[in-house]
Structure 1
Amino acid sequence: MTIKKWFKSGSPWIWLNAGAIAISMIMVVGLLSLILVRGFSHFWPAPIVETTLTQPDGRQVQLLGELSRSQTLPAQVMREAGVDIPSDIDLVTRHLIKQGNRDVWGRDFVWYPETGMDEWRYPKEAMRLERREWGDFYGYPVRLKEEGRTVAEGEKLWPELQQRVDRANELFDEIRGIERGDIGAVNHRMERVRLEERRLDMDRRAGRIDRASMEEATVELEARRAELADEYAVLQQRLDQLYQDVRRDTLVGRVMDGREVEIPVGQIIRAVQPNDMSVVSKVGLYVAQFWDFLSGYPREANTEGGILPAIFGTVTMVFVMSIIVSPFGVLAAIYLREYARQGPLLRVIRISVYNLAGVPSIVFGVFGLGFFVYFVGGAVDQQFFPAALPSPTFGTPGLLWAALTLALLTLPVVIVATEEGLARIPSTIRHGSLALGATKAETLWKVVVPLATPAMMTGLILAIARAAGEVAPLMLVGVVKLAPTLPIDGHFPFIHLERKIMHLGFHIYDVGFQSPNVEAAQPLVYATAMTLVILIVMLNLTAISIRNRLREKYRSESD
């Protein structure tokens, strides 16, 4: 009888709901903690270990690198994998060593069994070189050469190497500025000359221009092309000189088997000796590597380098999507709530809107590809960019179509949230406004809509959260593995909506599941996921702060 009264009181359901919320919070906090810990720990400089592995046949192998992780497995599993393990051992611990030097060994992550390993050593002179190609290099510095002549050895080598690495990075920054800035501007103007020539040819065939005007315009375009060619030649000459200066210095390093390898200093981004660094130096290196990750460009099939294009593409796409979805969603909700005749047709429309929110996102991607890209984009190219055809301008996936597809995807969220906000406005406020002589339109736009603004911001917050994490539809309508340029530059119209972009969500998918080097990509997956989570939180907090300010503003005005 007591149990029945307890169930009738509702207490079990309260405890059940509390338990479900607690479990959900634990799962969310655990997931975020895993992402944050793995993401932030990736940038901490790990020590370089050195040891000797004695194999069962008596051969000794020198090992040098960073410990990635360890596993304990049954010895039988190791034997079936082809590893020679003594028969009297039941469990074997193996270590994944990042030995780097992909250009020397062919692979930079190798599993080694602990059986037969000597004691681990941490030599202070062991170095890690972060390179532009072939991944990290692990070894010992031997000598530094300039144009084949030895310039530093012994204690003088490391300070001299740091200076020359800084010099090489400055040269590469200048090279990058010329290639992406100056030469990019010249190529942009050359393309405009080519398109003008194409338009002249089309006008000539259509009879819209006479021969004299055609010849005059052609001479002017040829002069412009010659001027641009001279400008390009000067820039190319400067680039050749810079590349020659970059190739001047060479570092000779000794790998773990004793061989000496020459590494061009121009390929070195950063040279460190983690075992000889203080805690303060490691913190400084941690901050520098984390900043390079946020502000750099990807390298080595996205398994190294930074994610700046992905961050920029994600933020730009979300802002463009917000600008598109907000007015359409708000106006649709206002019409459905305030102006449309209530009846069966309106109920069907509302049900359709609710069902639209449950359509798989990939369906929106297919629709965006077929309608926005091929139909609308193709029509825009035919009407406004005929000279560029058959190369499409808007008739190909790009930023605009990705934003429109996401706007369509999140439109039901904004409509429903706005309608609920309009419904929560007390009728007494409407009646009071009408009683004071205001028209229905004035009441709506000057009284009701401002009070419902917080609900509209809530819909926008939900739309941003969903849009920033979507991947499937974006793969079809504008997001790519690697975008050569950002969708913004100094050329009119400055924001290029037709360009393809990178996206943090797709970057996580590509690095995690399409990378040729899984072990090198694994920490980047956590770091990129951490960045995406932080970015979504920042966008949401910005929208929430705006919503709270609006709520307080209109609450004080209504009081």
Structure 2
Amino acid sequence: MNVKKQNLKSWFKSGSPWVWMTASGVSIAVIMTVGLLAVIATRGLAHFWPADVIQASYQVPGEAPRLMAGELVQAEQVTRARLASAGLPVDVQGGEFMTRELFKVGNRDINGADFSWVVDEWMKDASTPKDIVAVERREWGNFYGYLVNVKENGKLVAEGDAAWDELQKRIARIDQLYSQISTLQKKDIGRINYGLEGLRLKQRKLELDKQLDATSQANLDAERAQWDAEYKVLEAQLLDLHNQFNRDSVTLKTVDGTEKEMSLGTVVRAYMPNAMGTTEKLGFYFSKVWEFVSDEPREANTEGGIFPAIFGTVMMTLIMAVIVTPFGVLAAIYLREYAKQGPMTRIIRIAVNNLAGVPAIVYGVFGLGFFVYVLGGSIDSLFFPEAAPAPTFGTPGLLWASLTLAILAVPVVIVATEEGLARIPLALREGSLALGATKAETLWKVVLPMASPAMMTGLILAVARAAGEVAPLMLVGVVKLAPALPVDGNYPYLHLDQKIMHLGFHIYDVGFQSPNVEAARPLVYATALLLVLVIALLNLSAVFIRNHLREKYKALDH
């Protein structure tokens, strides 16, 4: 017995239990992380798969039967008492549980809702007809029904079996027209509007400076006339494109016989999911995933893509990194290399460490009050008086969002850089000074290169925290919908005063502010997965650079 106790004591003294506990904790954390990502990926990516459309007869006890069609979204077991409390005519004397299913029935402009709960026991004659059509629309969500005919300017073009091929050809034509209209509106007409606004501000500036004479006015009028003439040409092109865009229409019939004629300009795609093979479904799936990451949102952010949010997140994070790195590094260099190590320096270090624990929303309030109202308002009064009363920089935008995140992340960079500087051996500094280098040269050519991996570590931590923040950004530049990117062909090309979209805020908006909760739920998972991937990509890029620097200066460290 004493031998066993002695062995147990020796085992504890060896530290093996703590190694196993640490390994177990890491394993549990990895399993939980992988499990969470798996759940998010499964629920998010499954949304893009073309599910079969089920048609069935549905009869609530005491009511007449009706035909319904839709995609099965989820099924769950609920108690009869719960269904009865919801007002359904359920026999509470039966079994304890019943199955209810959530169907995406579409046809919101006819039914009033995209989704409907049904009781499985009340469904009869369920089938998956090959010729039922699912139509994805730019507004009003999906439409499910049977193709009747295709028309051009109100005249019948095709019906019956021939209508399907004709419909696909005309949808492809609509896609091309939509792309041309979008380019014309955003690029060409947007450039003209930007030029006209510049002329207005230029004229207003001359008026404020009391330099608007007859010659200046004539030059402005001539330039404005040139812009107007170009706009009239583009306006005529746009009107012609819109007429072609709204030329065709399609008529569909719901499963209960109601006919609906809709302009093909409102249709994104039409497909027969029940007739698609595995290869066709895979092609459809990847096209939907690509649309999600490359297109603009529509239908209150519950349809389409989220490219503006991806772009805004990456752009803001990169600008934040460019701002936070030099300021954090300079502050760390001063505290470690130049500041007198006394009570004041210790107080500053304590303050820096405490700043890392300040709630993010406090930084947002500070950014709104100082950057937007004080700094931005001052910039407007000094450099953009002609734009008043409309603010230029005195309103939330990309620059202020990036600066707010930089202040939020700078303590992390300072601490990591200081630790890196402290690890540089004193012998290297003294050797450099002994060879005749100045302190500044030693710092620039010896100390900073060797501390660069620690700087990159601080930047990685800063990016990881800042890219996922939402609360402060709601106050300083991120909005629900901003399809126009802050980068375009108009000078100065990067518009730091423009508002942006953000993946984190998009998740909050779609998940908690959407009027169509059921349609938004899978997009929350998909966007969350994409946010994790974006942050991981940014971090991996920084890790690659850090490892490269670490290998480069490893020889000097020894």
**Would you say same fold, with TM above 0.5?**
yes
What is the identity, as a one-letter code, of the residue corresponding to 2:107?
N
Find the aligned partners of 1:26 and 1:484 in 2 and give their Cα distance.
38
Matched, 1:20 2:19: no
SS in 1 for 2:71: strand
Which residue pairs with 2:72 in the alignment? 67
Counterpart position of 2:176: 170
Counterparts of 2:142 and 2:104, CA distance in 1: 9
Q: Report whether the alignment pairs 1:286 with 2:285.
A: yes
Determine if the alignment matches structure 1 residue 231 to structure 2 residue 230.
yes
Post-superposition Cα deviations, 1:325-353, rounded to whole Å, max 9, x if no partner, equal 00000111111111111111111000000
The corresponding residue for 1:380 is: 379
For 2:523 and 2:348, locate their aligned partners in 1 and report how far apart those are by CA, in whole Å.
Answer: 44
> Is contact 2:106-2:143 (8 Å) kept?
yes
**One-letter amino acid of the structure 2 residue matched with residue 26 of structure 1:** I
1:320-399 counterparts in 2 under 5 A? 320-399=319-398
Name the CA distance, whole Å, in 2 between partners of 1:245 and 1:384.
45
- Pair 1:196-2:195 in alignment: no
SS in 1 for 2:213: helix
Shift of 1:230: 2.3
2:151 paired with 1:145: yes
Distance of 2:266 and 2:177 partners within structure 1: 11
**C-alpha displacement of 1:72:** 0.7
DSSP-derived class of the 1:95 partner: strand
Please state whether the residue corresponding to 1:327 is helix, strand or coil.
helix
How far apart, CA to CA, are the structure 2 residues paired with 1:260 and 1:522?
30
CA displacement at 1:242 relative to structure 2 = 1.2
User: 1:197 deviation in Å?
Assistant: 1.6
Superposition deviation, residue 22 in structure 1: 2.1
Distance 1:110 1:233 in 2: 48
| Structure 2 SS opposite 1:52 | strand
Q: Is the partner of 2:493 in helix, strand or coil?
A: coil
The residue number in structure 2 matching 1:270 is 269
Q: Structure 2 regions of 5+ residues with no counterpart? A: none
Q: Deviations over 1:8-65 (max 9, x none)?
A: 5444433332322222222111111111122221211111111111221251121111
Structure 1 residues 554, 6: CA separation in 2 closer, same or farther (over 3 Å shift)? closer
CA pair 344-558 structure 1, distance change in 2 beyond 3 A: closer
Q: Which residue of 2 aligns with 1:105?
A: 111
Give the drift of 1:4.
5.3
Q: Tell me, what secondary structure is at the counterpart of 2:161?
A: helix
SS of structure 2 residue aligned to 1:234: helix
Match of 1:34 in 2: 39
Where 2:341 maps in the other structure, the secondary structure is: coil
Q: 1:51 aligns with which of 56, 66, 69?
A: 56
Alignment of 1:456-495 (within 5 A): 456-495=455-494
| Paired letter, 2:128 | Y
Quote how far apart the aligned CAs of 1:428 are.
Answer: 2.0
Q: Is 1:126 aligned with 2:132?
A: yes
Rounded to whole Å, the distance in 2 between the matches of 1:426 and 1:105 is: 74
Cα offset, 1:87, TM superposition = 3.8
DSSP-derived class of the 1:115 partner: helix
Q: How many angstroms apart in 1 are the aligned matches of 2:517 and 2:240? A: 38
**2:305 counterpart letter in structure 1:** G
Asked whether the 8 Å contact 2:81–2:92 carries over to 1, the reply is: no
After superposition, residues 210-225 of structure 1 pair within 5 angstroms as 214-225=213-224
Aligned-residue offset at 1:221: 1.4
Match of 2:88 among 70, 80, 83: 83
Q: Percent identity?
A: 57
CA distance in 1, matches of 2:12, 2:449: 45
Shift in CA distance, 152/11, structure 1 to aligned 2, threshold 3 Å? same
CA distance in 2, matches of 1:428, 1:34: 52
Cα offset for 1:310?
0.3
Code of the aligned partner of 2:238:
L
Q: Tell me the alpha carbon deviations over residues 240-263 of structure 1, each in whole angstroms, 9 at most, x when there is no partner.
A: 111111111111101122111112
User: Residue 352 of structure 2 aligns to which amino acid in structure 1?
Assistant: V
Deviations 1:115-165 (A, max 9, x none): 221142111111111111111111111111111111111221111111000
> Could you tell me which residue of structure 1 aligns to residue 243 of structure 2?
244
3-state SS of paired residue (1:261):
strand
* Other structure's SS at 1:120 match: strand
**What is the rounded CA distance, in whole Å, between the counterparts of 1:386 and 1:377 in structure 2?**
12
Aligned with 1:469: secondary structure? coil
Distance, in Å, in 2 between the alignment partners of 1:486 and 1:203 is: 33
* Structure 2 residue 95 is the aligned partner of structure 1 residue 96: no
- Per the alignment, in what secondary structure is the counterpart of residue 121 of structure 2? coil
Using the TM superposition, give the Cα deviation of residue 7 of structure 1 relative to its aligned residue in structure 2, in angstroms: 4.4
Q: Relative to structure 1, is the Cα distance of residues 556 and 8 closer, same or farther in structure 2, using a 3 angstrom cutoff?
A: closer
Q: Does 1:450 align with 2:423?
A: no
Q: Secondary structure at the match of 1:134?
A: coil
Q: Distance in 2 between matches of 1:151 and 1:358?
A: 67
One-letter code aligned to 2:509: D
2:191 to 174, 185, 201: 185
Distance 1:202 1:437 in 2: 59
What's the counterpart of residue 166 of structure 2? 160
Larger deviation, residues 41-50 vs 520-529 = 41-50
Q: Give per-residue Cα distances to partners, 1:213-234, cap 9 Å, x unaligned.
A: 6111112212222222222222
2:142 equivalent to 1:136: yes
CA change 1:558–1:359 in 2 (3 A) is closer
Compute the displacement of 1:484 (Å).
Answer: 4.1
The answer to which of 30-39 and 69-78 deviates more is: 30-39
Whole-angstrom distance in 2 between the partners of 1:32 and 1:422:
36
**Which secondary structure does the structure 2 equivalent of 1:500 belong to?**
coil
Count the aligned residue pairs: 552
State whether residues 84 and 92 of structure 2, in contact with CA within 8 Å, keep that contact through their aligned partners in structure 1: no
Q: CA deviation at 1:557?
A: 5.5
Give the counterpart letter for 2:192 in structure 1: V
Distance across 1 between alignment mates of 2:32 and 2:180: 48
Distance 1:451 1:237 in 2: 63
Q: 412-421 or 1-10: which moved more? A: 1-10
CA shift at 1:307, angstroms? 0.4
C-alpha distance after superposition, 1:352-374 (max 9, x if no partner): 00000000000000000000000
Gaps of at least 5 residues in structure 1 are none
Aligned amino acid, residue 248 of structure 2? D
